[in-house]
Structure 1
Amino acid sequence: MPDDLQVKDEPPAPVLLVTGLSGAGKSTALKVLEDLGYEAVDNLPLSLLGPLLAVPGGHRLAIGIDARTRAFSPELVLQAMAEHATPERPIRILYLDCSGHELVRRFSETRRRHPLALDRPAGDGIAMERELLSELRRVADVVIDTSDFSTNDLRRAVSMRFGAAGHKSLTLTLMSFGYSRGVPRDADLVFDMRFLKNPHWVPELRPLTGLDRAVSDHVKSDPAYASAFETIVGLLTLLLPGYAKEGRAYLTVAFGCTGGKHRSVAVAEAASAALVEAGWPNAVVHRDRAIGAEEDLPEAVSAEGERKGLE
């Protein structure tokens, strides 16, 4: 992923409840929010939630609350929010989600027990927790699915959404990905770049990525590239004002190729530059570039690379 993401976002909510599945990254998210100027409290007892929300002040507050809390009840959380939220001090929910398979892998790798299944397989606890938190997920203001995220990916995602104060506008993210690792769960629009000629078949380009000039030039030399790219950017510049007008706060546009290393990366970078020029600031995320997945035949499925577990 690039190290120089610059995204304009709406002003952070003064109070942010951080919740979600165990192992999905709540601790990491709270640490990022603390770095961004929030006063962060983790694993707050439910009996203290109402009194804390009642404390006056304009400081930004991030509260971690989840199924680890004794006598946890989503209904009591929502009741406390309803009693203490005001137009001047809104209360928002950030929900960290993740696939069951990935959560099992993380618990296995870290040798941690699931808090709801101390004497049973982690999968049992994950299922129970997902059901318990379903209402909070349904009403959450922001849901981040960390199934394909490293710790750094999650840090960037939280920073993009809550880090920069500014005018209320559409936060646009462009993402490259490999179909061999699945379509991103949070993608709103998806463009398939597998019709372009594959740099994998050029030996000197194979170890490079779409961030390298040689690969980018190779992709752009395809006879179909220019008209397709112009059409895609034209479609996006046509649609984006409508999304913004309808009140969408976040939009993710994904570009896919087989391995997520060459074509999708090159096109996402080019689209980012074109959209900035058209007046649409954006962040670029290359989900699979660092995995090293190779682009073989269109039907190929690369071996799943190791990902760091999230706290």
Structure 2
Amino acid sequence: MANAVRDEQVDGRKPGSNLRDLVVISGLSGAGKSSAMNVFEDAGYFCVDNLPAEMIRSLAELFMHQGSRVELAAVVCDSRGGEYLAALAGVIDQLADAGVVHRVVFLTADEEALVNRYKETRRRHPLAPHGSVIDGIRAEIDLLAPVRERADLVIDTSGLSAAALRRKVADELLSPASPGRLAVTFTSFGHKHGPPRDADIAFDVRFLPNPHYESDLRPLTGFDERIVAYVARDGRLDEFYGHVVPLLEFLLPQYVAEGKAHLMVAIGCTGGRHRSVAIAEHLANVFRDREEYFVEVSHRDVDRLPMRTVR
């Protein structure tokens, strides 16, 4: 749905206006709206954070005025706007009535994820500055229900890292910066910490020798050549690469042809510190110098301390 909205809206600017896209970002406090806005800012959008709802229409009119050079804009409107937030749903309707080319993105997350994020930051919820965070979350859900109903795209950020959220926003809402160039992220993870929610392709490498059971190797990570040598000692690692690299060489161009902008390839071992890290780094190096791909590598669990093992 988002892709159809994107194509239809960006080409539907009002005659005499340079404004091609106005993105209104809203949603629950702690759901990642700032991270989402950063994606648009990096893509060249004029961005305004914490804009009162009733000022969105005025700003849109300014952008649409003849002589304005703003073609792409994104605004965040949320509970920090206080009493002005109640007007947001009506303002969105006014944008449609005025012919302003726009999209509405709504970010949400489950109650547990939001509570945990507030605990980490020790911030107070804007709708419950002197009460419990849960009360504020529930009040905000009710207040923003009309906005969510008008959203072109709803993104649930429960379990998503900031980097994964940025990739999802870019994939869903932005055209690729370089048509035909695929952004590929190789990421390592530990199965005992749960699978990554946003992986497109996942490989389980727990069949390879595990350095965790060697006391002198356990504190190291897959960045260390001693770990690589241990994992590769029986030849199965090279055999694995002999199958996986040709498979990816076949698959990646298929995703490019399908129009996909971002792809995450996840490699999982038991703890996410040894085998998966070494393999993610190797695969990233294999594809990094190829012009048709933009390659990144990340390691979700490499910094988790290893548990002592009783043998």
Same fold, TM-score > 0.5, yes or no: yes
Q: CA, structure 1 residues 246+36, in 2 after alignment: closer, same or farther (shift >3 Å)?
A: closer
1:84 maps to 2:100: yes
Shift of 1:215: 1.2
Shift of 1:273: 1.4
SS of 2:256's equivalent?
Answer: helix
Q: CA, structure 1 residues 99+273, in 2 after alignment: closer, same or farther (shift >3 Å)?
A: farther
CA distance in 2, matches of 1:175, 1:137: 31
Q: Please, which runs of 5 or more residues in structure 2 have no aligned partner?
A: 1-19
Q: Please, which runs of 5 or more residues in structure 1 have no aligned partner?
A: 1-12, 86-90, 298-311
CA distance in 2, matches of 1:171, 1:94: 23
Q: Give the counterpart of 1:282 among 269, 273, 295.
A: 295
The corresponding residue for 1:241 is 253
Tell me the number of residue pairs that the alignment of Structure 1 and Structure 2 aligns.
275
Q: Give the counterpart of 1:23 among 11, 24, 30.
A: 30
On the 8 A contact 1:258/1:296 being kept in 2, the answer is no
Looking at secondary structure, tell me which structure has more helix per residue. 2
SS of 1:22's equivalent?
Answer: coil
CA distance in 2, matches of 1:16, 1:287: 30
1:190 maps to 2:202: yes
Q: CA, structure 1 residues 215+110, in 2 after alignment: closer, same or farther (shift >3 Å)?
A: same
Shift of 1:36: 7.3
Shift of 1:127: 5.4
SS of 2:189's equivalent?
Answer: strand
SS of 1:62's equivalent?
Answer: strand
On the 8 A contact 2:57/2:91 being kept in 1, the answer is no
On the 8 A contact 1:145/1:185 being kept in 2, the answer is no
1:205 maps to 2:217: yes
The corresponding residue for 1:107 is 118
The corresponding residue for 1:304 is none
On the 8 A contact 1:25/1:154 being kept in 2, the answer is no
CA distance in 2, matches of 1:74, 1:253: 39
Deviations 1:230-276 (CA, angstroms, capped at 9, x unpaired): 21222222111121111212111111111111111111111111223
On the 8 A contact 2:22/2:103 being kept in 1, the answer is yes
1:71 maps to 2:86: yes
CA distance in 2, matches of 1:288, 1:135: 37
On the 8 A contact 1:145/1:186 being kept in 2, the answer is no
Greater shift in the superposed pair: 240-249 or 121-130:
121-130
**Over aligned residue pairs, what C-alpha RMSD do you find?**
3.7
On the 8 A contact 1:33/1:158 being kept in 2, the answer is no
CA distance in 2, matches of 1:144, 1:267: 30
SS of 1:71's equivalent?
Answer: helix
SS of 1:191's equivalent?
Answer: strand
On the 8 A contact 2:180/2:257 being kept in 1, the answer is no
SS of 1:232's equivalent?
Answer: helix
TM-score calculated relative to the size of structure 2:
0.71
Greater shift in the superposed pair: 94-103 or 228-237:
94-103
- Once the two structures are superposed, the pairs formed by residues 265-276 of structure 1 within 5 Å of their partners are 265-276=277-288
Shift of 1:107: 1.6
Return the index of the structure with the highest Cα Rg: 2
One-letter identity of the residue aligned with 2:114: L
Q: Percent identity?
A: 38
- Once the two structures are superposed, the pairs formed by residues 104-183 of structure 1 within 5 Å of their partners are 104-117=115-128, 121-126=132-137, 129=140, 132=145, 134-135=148-149, 139=153, 143=155, 145=157, 147=159, 149=161, 153=163, 166-167=178-179, 169-183=181-195
TM-score calculated relative to the size of structure 1:
0.71
CA distance in 2, matches of 1:196, 1:14: 49
On the 8 A contact 2:182/2:294 being kept in 1, the answer is no
Shift of 1:146: 6.8
SS of 1:281's equivalent?
Answer: strand
On the 8 A contact 1:180/1:259 being kept in 2, the answer is yes
Shift of 1:177: 0.9
Q: CA, structure 1 residues 154+276, in 2 after alignment: closer, same or farther (shift >3 Å)?
A: closer
